[in-house]
Amino acid sequence: MITISLCMIVKNEEDILGRCLEGFKDIVDEMIVVDTGSTDKTIEVAKSYGAKVYEFEWINDFSAARNYSFSKATCDFIYSADADEVIDEENQERFIKLKEDIDELDIDIVQMYYTNQLSSRSVYNYDRELRPKLFRRIRHFLWCDPIHEQVKLQPTVCDSDVEIIHMPKESHTERDLASFRRAIDNGHRLSRRLHMMYARELLMAGSDEDFILAKKFFIESTLDTTRSTDEIKEASVILTHIAILEHDIEMLLKFVLKDVITETSSEVCYELGKFYQEKGDYDEAIVWFFNAGYETQSILDIHRSGDMPRRAIAECYRAIGNEEQAKDYDREADSWQVPQAPLN
């Protein structure tokens, strides 16, 4: 049977760390807890479960801290954990069975289902989706193909049926958005993935001030010829929202057109619906909310093509005295369900 090192980074997690470690203590073979500056009893809680605790000076870089935690592992595989994870008895059994089975397989990475993601609205579109969670610590390179042989470079990834419940004690949005701004101010170029996540978290959970503070970055993004069309569309969604906040019609037109020049996004249609709704032009608002919910697709926030425009249409019909239509769209909003996350 393989051995597993649990590795995590923590700071001030005394309230929930024990809950996490209790669920994994009979699954993993060692626990590595890297503390980044706790002032509560986090370290004491970790040690009470037999964890090896290391201190790491926080340098505003989660990857650096994760890499340090991985460097301390000694087992065959590493499970990358967060303190707000919970694993129930059924999935503990699945995990232990996975440990038994994986020994016979040439697997480098195991994906597990992350669930309960929509309990706090921040950056997730799906309540249950696969994530890479278990990593072979030392990868052995193999030659493949009977002729014109070459070293296999791509890792072998498998999907498991193990479910990890995400149960955060608070929203991380304020911390996350501040981290994005800090990275940008320090000259870090956001990757394609981080560009999308910054835009998504702003749209889902950002305050008006967060949007205004992001304005310069996203304007520069639309002017960056090395950014993809998708990134320019993401930036245009954010700048459309900012234009409405600032009552800047010229800016609104500019970034709406940047979006609609390709396939129009649900997000921009939704923003236009809100624009006309706030002006009291409910008929025009309904047109754009209908486009958001029925004619276009979302690129950042799936709810802006689902329950949100349907609920907004109901509000508009109610405002013009059509209660029957309002109830119909309320029912549609209530019955709308987030679709299954696409498999990676």
Q: The CATH number of the domain where 158 resides is what?
A: 3.90.550.10
Domain boundary among 111, 132, 166: 166
Q: Which amino acid is at 142?
A: L
Give the long-range contacts of residues 181-188, CB within 8 A, separation 24 or more. 181/213, 181/214, 182/60, 183/60, 184/217
What the block records as the tokens of 74 is 């000694």
User: Which residue segment(s) compose the domain that 43 sits in?
Assistant: 4-166
**Does a structural domain hold residue 340?**
no
Nearest partner of 248 among 287, 275, 217, judged by Cα: 275
Looking at the structure, tell me whether residues 34 and 117 fall in a common domain: yes
The pTM assigned to this predicted structure is 0.82
Please indicate, yes or no, if residue 343 is contained in any of the structural domains: no
Please report, in tens digits, the pLDDT of each residue of the chain (344 residues total).
999 999 999 999 999 999 999 999 999 999 999 999 999 999 999 999 999 999 999 998 999 999 999 999 999 999 999 999 999 999 999 999 999 998 767 899 999 999 876 666 666 666 788 999 999 999 877 777 777 678 877 888 999 999 999 888 777 788 899 999 999 999 999 999 999 999 999 999 999 999 999 999 999 999 999 999 999 999 999 999 999 999 999 999 999 999 999 999 999 999 999 999 999 999 999 999 999 999 999 999 999 999 999 999 999 999 999 999 999 999 999 999 887 777 65
Per the structure, the count of domains in the chain is: 2
Give, in order, the Cα–Cα distances in Å from 163 to each of 9, 113, 227, 267. 21, 5, 35, 31
Give me 178's structure tokens: 């501040």
Do 124 and 51 lie in one domain? The reply is yes
Tell whether 159 and 213 lie within a shared domain: no
20 and 140 share one domain: yes
CATH of the domain at 245: 1.25.40.10
Query: Is residue 63 domain-shared with residue 150, that is, in the same domain?
Result: yes
